[in-house]
Structure 1
Amino acid sequence: MIFDLIKKRRSVFPVQYNQESISKEAIEKILEAANWAPTHRKTEPWRFKVVQGDKLEELGTFVAEKYKGTTDKYSDFKYKKIKQKFLQSNCVISICMQRDVQERIPEWEEIASTAMAVQNMWLMATDLNIGSYWSSPALIQYADKFFNLAEGEKCLGFFYMGYFDEELPEGKREPIENKVEWL
């Protein structure tokens, strides 16, 4: 049931991943789920860059070096942690948004549509028992220096993925009644 899957979805962090490989078929299924997100005027703004294998180390080093070269408060611990997140993941998908060149709709709607695509990815990964986590570090502003981004395309974050062994905690939310006003 979809409601049970929604409630089961959790952020599973790279430190929790084991070394089991994610098949290309599973990644394609996750991406196909993203492709069915709602989209105003059918702009389908989501774009993804799939990073695996040696490219994970290369991307991790790139992001860590950008951190080192741009921060006023350098920490060797943080530098290593940035690199490690990529190395602990079996797959990292760069989440990008391609702005409609005609700008027929507000940019926030295309960002929202891309976020819905990521929610679909997260739900599909959950269904496949693949842990995942969306991170949008400030360093994504340099993504165009690593990825070949098209004009009007911007990186919104990284979607880290990996299988995991541990039991995840049950989710907790405040009652919906606290967040709704009936008129």
Structure 2
Amino acid sequence: MNLENITQLIKERRTHPTRFFNDKEVPKELIKQLLENGNWAPNHKKTEPWRFVVISGEGREKFVSEVKTELEEAQKNGADIPGDKVNKFALHFRKAPVAVAIIANLDEEHRLPEWEEMAAVSMAVQNIWLSATAAGLSAFWATPPFISQLGSCLDLKPNQKSMGFLFLGYANRPFPANGREPIEDKITWKE
């Protein structure tokens, strides 16, 4: 590995909407390797706050059914949950062969600010995403507006928060780079 290779990999990472995924199955061993790479993200106090729930195969429809039941109950209790957002959420599970629920396992001793734990989980996701790119996979991270209603569907503990879902699959077409504004516009040097 050299700087040129990692730079190229970072620039090739893309967000591919699930509507462009095909039906090709993602091998379980590959998913495990991606998550293992996520496990090496930096974090303070060795809290390793990332947790993952892998939803694939027939488990996708079962999970969507559980979510819909949970959301219907929340709506009965006054929650404002737009039906179109629920349908879009379900569509992601139908289009992507794998969904990984991203969970922040917050330090129960509160030794760190919550944002640091969330940042560590985000770095784990970046490791997974870059690894997926290197393996030829596409990824899409989505956080539905009703994410706070999914605690029981994901078996969350009181100290855990869902940060959305990383959908993984193979895309039917490559996505071009959308580019970035020059880094010079984002740096202040104090020498």
Instruction: Report the TM-score, using the length of structure 2 for normalisation.
Output: 0.88
- Residue 19 of structure 1 aligns to which amino acid in structure 2? D
Tell me the distance in 2 between the aligned counterparts of 1:73 and 1:87. 19
Tell me the distance in 1 between the aligned counterparts of 2:81 and 2:41. 39
Tell me the distance in 2 between the aligned counterparts of 1:151 and 1:136. 19
**Residue 63 of structure 1: CA displacement?**
3.7
Contact 1:60/1:85 (8 A) holds in 2: no
Tell me the distance in 1 between the aligned counterparts of 2:110 and 2:81. 37
Question: Which residue does 1:140 correspond to in 2?
Answer: 147
**Residue 151 of structure 1: CA displacement?**
3.0
Contact 1:8/1:171 (8 A) holds in 2: no
| Match runs of 1:1-183 below 5 Å | 1-64=5-68, 66=71, 69=75, 70-71=79-80, 74-75=83-84, 78-183=85-190
- Residue 148 of structure 1 aligns to which amino acid in structure 2? D
Q: Which runs of 5+ in 1 are unaligned?
A: none
Contact 2:89/2:144 (8 A) holds in 1: no
Of all paired residues, the percent bearing the same amino acid is 36
- SS of the residue corresponding to residue 160 of structure 1 reads strand
1:105-135 Cα deviation digits (max 9, x unpaired): 1111000000000000100000011111111
Contact 2:81/2:146 (8 A) holds in 1: no
Tell me the distance in 2 between the aligned counterparts of 1:167 and 1:113. 29
- SS of the residue corresponding to residue 161 of structure 1 reads strand
Tell me the distance in 2 between the aligned counterparts of 1:161 and 1:46. 18
- Residue 115 of structure 2 aligns to which amino acid in structure 1? W
Kindly tell me the number of residue pairs found equivalent between the two proteins.
181
Instruction: Report the TM-score, using the length of structure 1 for normalisation.
Output: 0.92
CA root-mean-square deviation? 1.7
Tell me the distance in 1 between the aligned counterparts of 2:67 and 2:142. 13
1:73–1:82 distance in 2 versus 1, CA, 3 Å? closer
- SS of the residue corresponding to residue 101 of structure 1 reads coil
Contact 1:64/1:82 (8 A) holds in 2: no
